[in-house]
Amino acid sequence: MTDATQTPRHGGRWLIRRVRRPDAAAHLYCFAHAGGAPGEYVRWADDLPEIQVWAVQPPGRASRLAERPFTRMTALVEAVVDQVTFEGPFALFGHSLGALVAFEVARSIRARGLPGPVRLFASSCSAPTAIRTTKRLHLLSDADLLAEIERRWGPMPAEARSDPLLLETALGCYRADFALLDAYEYVQSGPLECPITVLVGDREPGRARAIAWRAQATGPFDLHTLPGGHLYFRESRRELCELLRWTMNSDLGERCERGSTQ
């Protein structure tokens, strides 16, 4: 069961977690893919025992389903940074659309002069400069939207397809997220000071557009390919969590070494 009881100071309704780890060495804040459930990401806590895993839960998702979702990136990002206290040291992980949100959150944190992440994990997402929205997906009819979702990512779960109310709810989440993506415009700014790790599935296209993330980092950059398609983390969860754990522990070690030499 997901433990969604949070303190208002930390993030209130904006954050959920599976377990509470007051002695965690670091925090990982996850941003879900389009139409994705934040609860799917907090399950990674089972494989990341030294890390406090959080999932960002914006309006229009899970327990906040009745709230009006954001449809513009700037407004969403400003709300996240206003409402969430990012406890450090911390890293940001975003999958697909969530990677863009995490990236913009990192830039907003920097613009406010707040302590930034030790690393950004950008998963299955083209670099911000390579985003091309040729279709206005959020304007499609329900039938066309469903067809487009299934063309890109495979069939919707049978239980959603067979339940009109559940299907309507799922399509509403996708539609709001696609509105975010359709309206997204990259604004030139300096690259992030933190390292960037890009992750992709070995059965998904767009590797060249993912490599372009390199231009967004002044520090280390690496790219990893894991078994699977666009939602590779479902079949390669163990491999992904091992990579997250190793990378964050390495970042913390380097951080301690730098501190001891100052």
Q: Which domains does the chain have, with CATH numbers?
A: 12-131+186-261 (3.40.50.1820), 132-183 (no CATH)
93 or 206, which is more confident: 93
pLDDT, the chain, mean: 89
pLDDT one-digit tens code per residue, 175-218: 999 999 999 999 999 999 999 999 999 998 877 788 999 999 99
Question: DSSP H helical segments within 154-236, as ranges?
Answer: 158-161, 164-183, 207-211
Which two tokens mark 28? 């990982």
Task: Compute the average pLDDT of residues 219-224.
Answer: 94
Token pair of 120 as six digits? 């950004």
pLDDT band for position 99 (50/70/90)? Answer: very high
Looking at residue 135, what is its pLDDT?
67
Which positions are annotated as active-site residues?
Answer: 96, 230
- Of the listed ranges 108-117, 136-145, 173-182, the one predicted with least confidence: 136-145
The answer to whether the predicted template modeling score (pTM) of the entire model surpasses 0.85 is yes
Task: Tell me the sheet residues that pair with 27.
Answer: 52, 90
- Predicted confidence (pLDDT) at residue 161 exceeds the cutoff of 80: yes
Contact yes or no for 130/181 (Cβ under 8 A): no
What is the rounded distance in angstroms from the CA atom of residue 96 to the CA atom of residue 229?
A: 12
Q: What percent of the chain has pLDDT over 70?
A: 91
C-alpha distances in Å from residue 235, one per residue of 128, 140, 202, 228, 238? 26, 30, 12, 7, 8
Q: 253 or 68: whose pLDDT is higher?
A: 68
**Does 132 or 262 have the greater pLDDT score?**
132
Tell me which residue of 120, 80, 88, 59 sits closest to 244, measured CA to CA: 120
pLDDT at 88 over 60: yes
Report which residue type is found at 9. R
